[in-house]
Chain A
Amino acid sequence: MTIPNQIAITPELVAAHGLKPDEYQRILDLIGREPTFTELGIFSAMWNEHCSYKSSKRWLRTLPTKGPRVIQGPGENAGVVDIDDGDCVVFKMESHNHPSYIEPYQGAATGVGGILRDVFTMGARPIAAMNALRFGAPDHPKTRHLVSGVVSGVGGYGNSFGVPTVGGEVEFDSRYNGNILVNAFAAGLAKSDAIFYSKAEGVGLPVVYLGAKTGRDGVGGATMASAEFDESIEEKRPTVQVGDPFTEKCLLEACLELMATGAVIAIQDMGAAGLTCSAVEMGAKGDLGIELDLDKVPVREERMTAYEMMLSESQERMLMVLRPEKEEVAKAIFVKWGLDFAIVGKTTDDLRFRILHEGEEVANLPIKELGDEAPEYDRPWQPSVTRPALPADKVAAPADYNDALLKLVGSPNQSSRRWVYEQYDTLIQGNSLQLPGGDAGVVRVEGHASKALAFSSDVTPRYVEADPIEGGKQAVAECWRNITATGAEPLAATDNLNFGNPEKPEIMGQLVGAIQGIGEACRALDFPIVSGNVSLYNETNGVAILPTPTIAGVGLLPDWSKMARIGTAKDGDVLIMIGIDGSHLGSSIYLRDIVGSTEGPAPEVDLKAERRHGDFVRGLIRNSQVTACHDISSGGLLLALAEMAMASKKGAKISLGECKGLPHALLFGEDQARYVIAVPADLANFVCASAESAGVPFRQLGNVGGTALQVDDLVNVEVTRLVDAHEDWFPTFMA
């Protein structure tokens, strides 16, 4: 079957393309005539939420995106940050939520593929990946199927491509029952003077198509990802793309080889909205028109229409503008790797986007306006209602602290993620220094004697729901803290903002609040946002997900031999808490999983304290004064101590003697800007004196040793029991 270009443009057809009547009117005003069917498809692809950021753009502009190390901020395929010695790290996080719910394996796999392509399009070899995954309640009938499919999809693509997965998150909450989240992060290494961009330069130059052939998969995917779900979801399966990691691996090697020859003027991967978005991007950025001849596009299905070719989201494809004199060199490289190479068009000076198919001009649109004139909304928003305080004395203490601790370490959300990360290749490339399970993943920089990069991905959606501003701050602060806990200096971050339907003022209010909080924290911590992605309409039948602005950050370790780990404490070490005594139980894990309530405000994030405490801890690590370090986050001090004990397989004897407050608040409170460090006994006094003079609050908690974690006469659990509970939940759940 072919779809002709002469289909009548009816209001129903416009609506089916996700365009509102006023948006369609905007198209008519812009081009002065009725669009062809192909043109309507192109507008739909360019103007959907996923590609145009029409609801979020106004607020994204408020984020800090510059810094002394930032080489490229948002607006390219990925952010680029200087890591000294002429090296740079290129990274981004992107969602593949909607497709992963419809078809978990391929949805997740192509999410990983898409983000890897974003990174190597810029000339960087991918060196690390992370995945932040959020699923519905464990007892929801679809959850196990989705976990199984997504995890094997992430592994199936990343393992075959050959990038180590060094970190991530896996969380369960019934609010994701109808919309799971798959946020994929990738980082690559490049030389700062060899970064490649999408801006085309020069008139009459060949536009070259590289990689896999174009098929009908994923037609309209970006438009699908910009709508809510309902019962008809199964019908959307054909909008999900199919991944081929083998071709992507070949494409990586071919692109890097080609870039080294100096043949590439501009390069853009074909991601969302495929050929349309990539061609428009290259032309519009370079103030050039683009003419494409679709008869030259390598296809894997017969009789594809212009509409289908322009909207296909077939994976593993690239568009380039090449230096004509290097054409033969370029072709040879792609033939060697068994990839398609076709000249499909040229750059022009008329600023038009012209599509030819079977001798007919099927589209002729103003190229800059396609992107620049996309609708932009200042949607009405309503600030979230401030929740009343929840003092600790209003929250019941546990009947038995041992039971509460065992329940938490073995709970769906706090248990070990080993079942997940053992399905990912964490070791490939031979540079992984810290694997999943600690505070941050650490990868050494190949070719340098001592440099390494630390990666962490974080957000606490229940905080963002309780208070979008504080929750936004907390996501940034926790990421910064996790990176700091290895001894690395946090450099920059990427944000992946997952929310419900922005047309609802309360959802828009969450987005606005979270961005405000993220911006404040990034400014205070000198942690700019250099790339990102927005995923809206994560709703099913009117129920939205928990607001989930995932923050993934990168940090630099000048000397990895001095980095800190979670599980390296030695017998006799003194455990010291950095930060204030725990007091905040609102929206905590303890409250949710032990007491059974989700009330109370999010913890406040004191950004000055966050920075002071973090800088202090990093200084200790870099001076080799710390044998182990872990941040305090969900579950509070007791869970942090338990995680350190499980990682080192060593007990500890703790006393809360010096601390002030109720024991359950001290142990489970989720106050921010806190760490637990293990320090050799002979350095303990020195470290405490240093903290005092730096104005950093601290408590000496006790000593490492024995086989049990003991806290006064409240807690006494053998570490082996903790480990068993911690490791047991996930495999049992998935069995």
Chain B
Amino acid sequence: MKSAVVQLPGLNRDRDMIAALTRISGQAPVAVWQTETDIPDVDLIVIPGGFSYGDYLRCGAIAARMPVMEAIRRKAEAGVKVLGVCNGFQILVEAGMLPGALMRNASLKFVCKEIKLEVVNADTDFTRAYETGQIIRCPVAHHDGNYFVESETLKSLEDNNQIVFRYAEGTNPNGSLSDIAGVVNKRGNVLGMMPHPENLIEAAHGGNDGRGIFASALEVVAAA
């Protein structure tokens, strides 16, 4: 399975993401620069974390309006899987490809630590390697991860099983509504999540709980 990683000025977990995808799929992803209007044929497009354009405006707001985003939208409409992690999630929300908004953390501080995630829906292209209800470890590192949607949308997210991850066991690090850590679009091929699974995929990271997301999306067998 082929993948691509989007690179925008200010993103800084692109190298982590490239390393993770390479390690898990055995194949280096294609790097796609922000000005490109065409994305090569891949099965998974990843928008990694960071501070695109410094996040001096609302997080992800400028990036969401770059040429490459139109290309990503077309690919998503054609059924290609798109994963946005952290700033990538914020960009997808700003681009209107996922519902909701990511506000400043309730603590008003950047937070980097390990939290627990509940896999709320294991029946997605990104979570098949897990079981519904499974609790996994995962690090977070963000300043604006406080997810919010109005009640109607929240209900439709719940009804459509679009909430994929929730912070579990009282570890909600940012005040997110309903402990939401990751949501998928209605079609199920665009996932946004605040935590960083790419930083927990091998022994050096102290565990590999994050591996299943990439293994699922790349349809490779999750290594133990």
Contacts and interface: CB of A to CB of B under 8 A. Distances in A.
A260 to B, nearest CB: 15
23 contacts: A152-B110, A159-B110, A159-B143, A160-B50, A162-B12, A162-B13, A244-B54, A245-B51, A246-B51, A250-B9, A421-B112, A422-B113, A423-B111, A423-B112, A425-B110, A427-B139, A428-B13, A428-B141, A430-B15, A430-B198, A430-B204, A433-B204, A560-B204
A462 interface: no
Given A159-B141, A433-B204, A444-B204, A427 B10 contact: no
Contact of B10 (A160, A444, A560): A160
A414 interface: no
Q: Taking each of B12, B109, B139, which has the highest tally of chain A beta carbons within 10 Å of its own beta carbon?
A: B12
A159 B198 CA distance: 17
B47 to A, nearest CB: 16
B51 A428 contact: no
Nearest to A158: B110
Interface string A149-174: 00010011001111000000000000
Interface string B11-26: 0110110011000000
Given A160-B51, A422-B113, A425-B110, A246 B198 contact: no
Contact of B19 (A245, A246, A250, A430): A430
B204 A246 contact: no
A385 B54 CA distance: 52
A428 B51 CA distance: 13
Given A159-B110, A159-B112, 10 more contacts: A159-B143, A160-B10, A160-B54, A246-B10, A249-B51, A338-B9, A422-B111, A430-B199, A431-B204, A433-B204
Contacts of A249: 9-10, 12, 51
Nearest to B23: A430
Contacts of A250: 9-10
Interface of B: 9-10, 12-13, 15-16, 19-20, 50-51, 53-56, 109-113, 139, 141, 143, 196, 198-199, 204-205
A250 B10 CA distance: 7
B109 A152 contact: yes
Contacts of A423: 109-112
A429 interface: yes
A333 B174 CA distance: 38
The secondary structure that dominates the B interface is: mixed
Interface in A237-294: 244-247, 249-250
A245 B54 contact: yes
Contact of A425 (B15, B53, B141): B141
Contact of B12 (A161, A444, A560): A161
A250 B205 CA distance: 27
Contacts of A424: 110, 112
A211 to B, nearest CB: 13
A422 B112 contact: yes
A429 B196 CA distance: 11
Contacts of A430: 15-16, 19-20, 198-199, 204-205
B176 to A, nearest CB: 17
Given A430-B199, A560-B204, A160 B112 contact: no
A247 B9 CA distance: 9
Nearest to B56: A246
Contacts of B54: 160, 244-247
Contacts of B199: 427-428, 430
Contacts of A337: 9
Nearest to B143: A159
Interface string A433-447: 100000000001010
A669 B53 CA distance: 52
Contacts of A156: 110
A160 B16 CA distance: 15
A430 B205 CA distance: 7
B196 A427 contact: yes
A73 B102 CA distance: 47
A336 to B, nearest CB: 8
A135 B58 CA distance: 33
A161 B55 CA distance: 12
A591 to B, nearest CB: 35
A426 interface: yes
A345 B152 CA distance: 62
Contacts of B139: 427
Nearest to A159: B110
B154 to A, nearest CB: 28
8 shortest interchain CB distances as A-B pairs: A162-B12, A246-B54, A160-B51, A430-B16, A425-B141, A427-B199, A246-B10, A425-B112
A173 to B, nearest CB: 25
